[in-house]
Amino acid sequence: MNELLVDYIVIGGGSGACATAGRLSENQSKTVLVLEAGGNGRDWAIKTPAAAVAMLPTKYNNWAFKTVAQPGLNGRCGYQPRGKTLGGSSAINAMIYIRGHASDYDHWAELGNAGWSYKELLPYFIRSENNADLSGPYHGQNGPLHVSNLRSDNPFQQIYLQAGQQAGFSVNTDFNGASQEGIGVYQVTQHLGERCSAARAYLEPHAERSNLNILTGAYVTRILFAVDGENKRAVGVEFSHNGVTKTARAKEEIILAAGALQSPQILMLSGVGDQDELGALGIPLVHHLPGVGKNLQDHPDMILNYQSNSLDLVGFSFLGGFAMLKQAWRYLTKRRGMLTTNYAECGGFLKTSPELPAPDVQLHFVVSVVEDHARTLRWGHGYSCHLCVLRPVSRGTVKLASTNPHAAPLIDPNFLGEPEDMEVMLKGVKLTQQIMNAPALTAQRTKAYTDAHIRNDDELRALIRQRADTVYHPVGTCKMGTDAMAVVDSQLRVHGIRALRIADASIMPTLIGGNTNAVCMVIGEKAADLISTGQ
């Protein structure tokens, strides 16, 4: 049995993990070990933005999980891609830089989580950001995370904005500024046309630090504890690496940051969770925390697809193949053009009712046809538009399938489990249709693939149940709070266990109104601050 001894162990290599480890390693007197099950996050598909299409629908740098059967989706099993590489899902996602709505964080604070209001988190967002194109009181230019405008130069950005205005919606040039509402073109986590994952931001620039040890291909199987009556402390981690079982010991703290699906899995495998559920699997109980794996929230999403003859749209055709060769040369020489696309280039935040205090649905306008998470491909060209519900009422779970640490967890987002979510999605799809049916976009399309046959609300509801799935934002399974189902406190410390914190999307008590990558890095930033200051 091989054993390492360090000050801090970070479990996982995703957005929260990278930010935590990178910041902790700034203190040269402290040693940091990062354990990531996947690869090093440096291959061509990660760096080239458009190559996300090679990863999202496959197991390439991707855990490619499935959900259990979803009653709200006609019994279908959903798809849950998660990054399996340094950088985590920031290495395979659409790179959209969104912080969420200010009220989301104020709500966290109202739930008893001191230090997590928007005013208190804004400095962390600014500190993490290096924005090439926006400045002012809401943005930073000195952080490790590169953010910029798209370099795809796609004319469909302006076509989409024109259609949105024709449908009566206003253009917003900064979704992370004073107001979130409106339609616009997304900023992305890219630097000079290449993806800037959390690993490229927080770890790669500091790989030479002697106190930062990064192990890839290191699959964590359980956390080790020292238990003396009610005194319980996390002391180490067991993991497999190159076919060998190893352990690492932490002199100070262990930071669990394996994501909303795998952080609760690792806790439960280690004996931390609901005592009845663990007992049913024969797992010795270390600490009873019934909230582990509960409170799963995700944005349910619906996609409308349209055919077009435009070669400005990513697709498959003989002429498109020749056009892509030119685009490849442009990318190689200038890092511009179609290969820099994040696909979901535009979008917006809309209210399904004008009296709402914040937008409750989000759009992602995609410069290609997306079917079944890009697992089904069409001949030809076209565009799509996602519509997701930002604050679903439905709650789901993550549970263990078995005591085998290599078995995927049982993931149940409970999509559309509550009728309110269906009604918000119904209204949101209708808003999306207003934009898709505006003159600027109808002039570009030759066929509506998805909804041309829909005649009434019942048919639209049926279509939603037939097509809806995730837009890749699972959170909440180790929630922060003070109630009986909370797993961590406002300092991210696991209740009842010393020297163990969680720093990823699982700690969010409620889902934010937007993409979750940026806030995961802020959670890591704040975790490092809390640890460094002894809180």
* DSSP 8-state secondary structure symbol assigned to residue 260: T
What token pair was written down for 280?
């049913």
Q: Which of 107, 287, 364, 473 is catalytic?
A: 473
pLDDT at site 376? 83
pLDDT at site 377? 81
- In this predicted structure, the answer to whether residue 461 has a pLDDT above a threshold of 50 is yes
pLDDT at site 141? 97
At 185, is the pLDDT very low, low, confident or very high (cuts 50, 70, 90)? Answer: very high
For 428, residues 6+ apart whose C-beta sits below 8 A from its C-beta are 302, 350, 352, 360, 361, 387, 388, 389
Q: What is the per-residue pLDDT across 20-40, written as a single tens digit (0 to 9) for each?
A: 999 999 999 999 999 999 999
* DSSP 8-state secondary structure symbol assigned to residue 449: S
What token pair was written down for 84?
């399996």
Strand pairing category for 218-228 and 231-241: antiparallel
Which of 88, 52, 50, 95 has its CA nearest to residue 203?
88
209: left (phi over 0), alpha (psi -120 to 50) or beta: beta
Cα–Cα distance list, 66 to 54, 69, 221, 261, 294 (Å)? 18, 9, 20, 11, 17
Q: If DSSP codes are grouped into helix, strand and coil, which group holds residue 427?
A: helix
Q: Rounded distance, CA 106 to CA 173, Å?
A: 24
At 2, is the pLDDT very low, low, confident or very high (cuts 50, 70, 90)? Answer: low
What string of H, E and C letters represents the secondary structure of 114-173?
A: CCCCHHHHHHHHHHHEEECCCCCCCCCECCCEEEECCCCCCCHHHHHHHHHHHCCCCECC
Cβ contact 464:90 at 8 Å: no
Q: What is the CATH number of domain 1-67+79-147+194-291+473-535?
A: 3.50.50.60
Name the one residue in this structure whose structure tokens are 């199987």: 221
Domain with CATH 3.30.410.40 in the chain: 151-185+300-389+417-467
Cα–Cα distance list, 10 to 41, 156, 260 (Å)? 17, 42, 15
Strand pairing category for 2-11 and 361-366: unpaired
- Other CB atoms within a 10 A radius of the CB of residue 204 amount to 19
Please tell me the pTM assigned to this model. Answer: 0.97
In total, the chain counts a number of residues equal to 535
To the nearest whole percent, how much of the chain has pLDDT over 70?
Answer: 100
Domain with CATH 3.50.50.60 in the chain: 1-67+79-147+194-291+473-535
Q: What is the per-residue pLDDT across 290-331, written as a single tens digit (0 to 9) for each?
A: 999 999 999 999 999 999 999 999 998 889 888 899 999 999
Q: What is the per-residue pLDDT across 470-504, written as a single tens digit (0 to 9) for each?
A: 999 999 999 999 999 999 999 999 999 999 999 99
Name the one residue in this structure whose structure tokens are 């037939």: 466
pLDDT at site 373? 86
For 533, residues 6+ apart whose C-beta sits below 8 A from its C-beta are none
Q: Is 495 a catalytic residue?
A: no
Strand pairing category for 300-308 and 381-389: antiparallel
Q: What is the per-residue pLDDT across 81-137, written as a single tens digit (0 to 9) for each?
A: 999 999 999 999 999 999 999 999 999 999 999 999 999 999 999 999 999 999 999
Q: Mind giving me the DSSP string for 379-416?
A: SBEEEEEEEEESS-S--BEEE-SSS-TTSPPEEE--TT
What token pair was written down for 330?
């442009």
Q: What is the per-residue pLDDT across 149-184, written as a single tens digit (0 to 9) for each?
A: 999 999 999 999 999 999 999 999 999 999 999 999
To the nearest whole percent, how much of the chain has pLDDT over 90?
Answer: 95
Dihedral angle computed from the Cα positions of residues 259, 264, 265 and 266, in that order, rounded to the nearest 10 degrees? 90
pLDDT at site 3? 84
Which of 204, 257, 269 has its CA nearest to residue 506?
257
Q: What is the CATH number of domain 151-185+300-389+417-467?
A: 3.30.410.40
Q: What is the per-residue pLDDT across 339-395, written as a single tens digit (0 to 9) for each?
A: 999 999 999 999 999 999 999 999 999 999 988 888 888 889 999 999 999 999 999
At 411, is the pLDDT very low, low, confident or very high (cuts 50, 70, 90)? Answer: very high
Torsional sign, CA 64, 99, 303, 454: positive
Q: If DSSP codes are grouped into helix, strand and coil, which group holds residue 182?
A: strand
Q: What is the per-residue pLDDT across 60-87, written as a single tens digit (0 to 9) for each?
A: 999 999 999 999 999 999 999 999 999 9
Average pLDDT over residues 496-520: 98
Q: Rounded distance, CA 123 to CA 268, Å?
A: 34
- In this predicted structure, the answer to whether residue 1 has a pLDDT above a threshold of 70 is no
Q: Rounded distance, CA 41 to CA 201, Å?
A: 12
49: left (phi over 0), alpha (psi -120 to 50) or beta: alpha
Cβ contact 454:463 at 8 Å: yes
Extended strands (E) in 464-513: 469-470, 500-502
Name the average pLDDT for the chain: 97
Torsional sign, CA 444, 348, 515, 86: positive
Strand pairing category for 445-448 and 300-308: antiparallel
- Other CB atoms within a 10 A radius of the CB of residue 439 amount to 11
Exposure string over 123-140, b if 16+ CB within 10 A, otherwise e? ebbbbbbbbeebeeebbb
